[in-house]
Amino acid sequence: MKFTYFRKPRFLLVLSALALNVVYGESTPSDLTITNEAKTLRFTLSFDAGKASYHVDHLAPSGEITPVLESSPLGLTRTDIDFTTGLSCVSATAATLVEDDYTLAVGKQLKVHSRGIERTFTLHNNTGIRLDLAVRAYRDGVAFRYGLPGHGSQLLQISGESTGFKLPAQGRVWMQPYSKVGIWSPAYEADYVNGVPTGTAAPESEGWALPLLSQANKLWVLITETGLEPDYFGVHLEQKAEQGLYRVRLPENPETFGVAPQPASITLPWVSPWRVIIVASQPASIAESTLVTDLARPSELKDTSWIKPGMASWSWWSDMSSPRDYAKLVASIDVAAKMGWQYCLLDLGWPYMTGGNVEQIAAYAKTKGVGLILWYNSGGKKNLSPEDKSQQDPDRDILSDPIIRDAELTRIAALGIKGIKVDFMQSDKQFVIAQYHDILRDAAKHRLMVDFHGCTIPRGWQRTYPNLISMEGVRGAEQYWDKTFAENAQTFHTIYVFTRNAIGPMDYTPTIFTDVAATNPQIQPHLTTNPHELALLIVFDSGVQHVVDHAASLVTQPDFVQDYLHGLPTVWDETHVIAGAPGELAVLARRQGSTWYLAGINGEKIAKTIKVSLAFLNAPAEVSLITDGARPHDFAHRTFTAKATDELELNLSARGGFAARLKLKP
């Protein structure tokens, strides 16, 4: 009897096994390929001297075959069984159509239709123990995962994974070094490299982080993982990639400072996360892809009506003492109300508030129609940050213990709190991955939204747990105390669109208009133009946008800027990447209802003129356009009527940008 371990799709169509020459039994099937419906991508499984490998090709209508990934290794190591040698394929299922319709609470588009082809290859090692390889081929990529059939409660350990991704040698990559273990890391906060040659070694022995973006042979490829469950660890990539072969690497052993082991403990049956390879002819299609959520487990929540993403004011960045000051928090709530924003974040120190307490500030916020999000330092006892040991952090680890967590979530939900921001996760070991899932499930029971900070990257959880409205996992605006980051922020911004933000919501905390040296002298002034900063609220996708600038600055911006900010949405019916490439430019159009938002950022230190097509419009629209002014902190503004056949010619300053609202006419 065949053991089926993957979820059943909504629709399943079995294609002819005879047409695929599938042969069952102990001999290797004659066909070890899977091709997507469009016949543009093909995954091929191979064996050589007992070692399994795969390669992925792009197929052109002309018959031309272009390598996407060259021969790349496969395999797992359990402490009791080796699945890296002595492997052969003994059977393969017929191709099946996997079709799915689902709705997201946050993301680049809320209603998604996915359609792919799946086959499962059954492998045996030299002792006859089974390893399954499930492979799917979609319009815009391929993915695979391992499966171990069986049943029982015995704990088994996976201590290694041989998976690799061999990119064509003559290409470029955009990726982020995986940080050394420290009191603040790893938290996916290193600087991305900007199109370095494929195979470049990571600067540190810890290697490279996912996602990996590559460009070679006129194709763009993004590699990441999704569907990571509590029974595995998150992976990254080895430091060296000889001849373009990037090998999977386990979490660093020092992560969690000895609290948790490096291997993963599993019971049977078990499946790994999906290894995802998104393929496109243009970087825009990489940023638009929904493959990460297509492959993720469906939502655990039946009722999601209470999940309401939105904009948030945030006082800590500009004044780190503000969460301990009731009067300053009132000012932050007031600006949220004035701007028509849904939330205000109370950051580090709110339990030690003077002049009032959380009960009083929650009651005040309610009178203003503003919901509160509370920050927690709850990475667990593994966390060794200085704040963890000080009396400034009385809430440390309240959300780590399940009993204490439930009591705290019960308490704050009764106060009308709408969400939590959980900080200092800082590891991809199984112990911490399980903690992410536990927090998300428990928060959902209390109807609380979740934003993770100091955390890993999205791995499809935003579909499984719709109350997950954002994750950091990026070097964001709070890093402006780093002069190098401030000087190159415009470049990183354009890279993020096609890398980190392509795989899920990103809490970058955007939009700086002023210099805050008076209240926080550590912070460097921003060198991007103010229209660039305004554009980030649209260019970046996040279910909650924590606006980094302070209340006094926001209420003194020009009326047309405040009008643009008022009631700005954070969820989208559709998203189009109009133009751009990492490190150079990003122009995006997003629609909510009958209103489009169009924004673009210049990733370079030189001015440029661009032309932006409005072909995405399906009706004439009233346009409010904000562009770069004469000086970096100036705005220019004009209004006009536009139609789909129009093309905007825009002059972007060095590090500049623009933002527009286009209201469709009835």
- Phi/psi for 485 (5° steps) reads -65, -45
Rounded distance between C-alpha atoms, residue 502 and residue 110, angstroms: 15
What's the Cα-to-Cα distance from 236 to each of 30, 39, 456, rounded to whole Å?
34, 30, 11
- Provide the mean pLDDT of the chain: 93
Per-residue pLDDT band for 380 (boundaries 50, 70, 90) equals confident
Which residues lie across from 354 on neighbouring strands? 325
Q: Is residue 1 predicted with pLDDT exceeding 90?
A: no
DSSP state of 325: B
Task: Say whether pLDDT at 389 is over 60.
Answer: no
Total residues belonging to the chain: 666
CB 456 within 8 A of CB 507: no
Per-residue pLDDT tens over the stretch 414-434: 999 999 999 999 999 999 999
Q: What is the pLDDT of residues 622-643, one digit of tens each?
A: 999 999 999 999 999 999 999 9
pLDDT band at 6 (very low <50, low <70, confident <90, very high): very low
- The pLDDT of residue 375: 96
Alpha-carbon distance 169 to 217, whole Å? 10
Contact between residue 271 and residue 7 where contact means Cβ atoms under 8 Å apart: no
- For the segment 448-472, what is each residue's pLDDT rounded down to a tens digit? 999 999 999 999 999 999 999 999 9
Structure tokens at 358: 């959380």
> Would the pLDDT of 356 be above 70?
yes
Delimit the CATH 2.70.98.10 region(s) of the chain.
11-294
Q: What is the pLDDT of residue 521?
A: 84
Instruction: Pinpoint the residues of the chain covered by CATH 3.20.20.70.
Output: 310-554
pLDDT of the residue at 393? 62
Phi-psi region of 152 (alpha: psi -120 to 50; beta: other; left: phi over 0): left
Position 385 scores a pLDDT of 52
Q: What is the DSSP letter of 411?
A: H
pLDDT, tens digit, 9 for 90 and up, residues 313-354: 999 999 999 999 999 999 999 999 999 999 999 999 999 999
Class of domain 310-554: alpha beta
- Top pLDDT among 175 and 382 is at 175
Residue range 485-494, pLDDT digits in tens: 999 999 999 9
- Strand 76-78's sheet: what is its strand order? 82-83, 76-78, 156-161, 264-266
Nearest to 546 by CA among 501, 486, 506: 506
pLDDT at 501: 98
State the pLDDT at residue 390: 42
- Give residue 379's pLDDT: 80
pLDDT score recorded for residue 384: 61
Does the structure show a pLDDT above 60 at 26? no
pLDDT at site 18: 30
Indicate whether 184 pLDDT > 90: no
Q: Look at residue 439 and tell me whether its pLDDT is greater than 90.
A: yes
pLDDT at 519: 81
Alpha-carbon dihedral angle through residues 604, 605, 609, 610, given to the nearest 10 degrees: 10
Instruction: Judge contact between 525 and 533, C-beta under 8 A.
Output: no
Confidence of residue 4 (pLDDT cuts 50, 70, 90): very low
Question: Which band of pLDDT confidence, cut at 50, 70 and 90, is reported for residue 396?
Answer: confident
Q: Which two tokens stand for residue 596?
A: 């489009």
Q: Are 198 and 168 in contact (CB under 8 A)?
A: yes
Say which DSSP state 354 is in.
Answer: B
Task: Average the pLDDT over each of 58-62, 180-184, 409-413 and give the range with the smallest value.
Answer: 180-184
17-31, 67-81, 151-165: which has the minimum mean pLDDT?
A: 17-31
* Topology of domain 11-294, CATH: Beta-galactosidase; Chain A, domain 5 (2.70.98)
Percent of the chain having pLDDT more than 90?
90
At 518 the pLDDT is 77
pTM as predicted: 0.95
Q: What is the pLDDT of residues 220-238, one digit of tens each?
A: 999 999 999 999 999 999 9
Of the given ranges (140-144, 277-281, 318-322, 599-603), which has the lowest mean pLDDT? 318-322
Give pLDDT, residue 8: 33
Query: What does the pLDDT read at residue 622?
Result: 98
pLDDT of residue 576: 98
**Contact of 118 with 98, CB cutoff 8 Å:** yes
How large a percentage of the chain has pLDDT more than 70? 94
Rg (CA), the chain: 25
Residue type, 165: F
pLDDT at position 574? 97
Q: What CA–CA distance (Å, rounded) separates 588 from 610?
A: 13
- Partners of 613 in beta bridges: 647
Mean pLDDT for the stretch of residues 252-280: 96
Task: For CA atoms 167, 173, 175, 180, give the dihedral sign.
Answer: positive
Does the pLDDT of residue 2 top 70, yes or no?
A: no
CB 339 within 8 A of CB 311: yes
Q: Does the pLDDT of residue 3 top 90, yes or no?
A: no
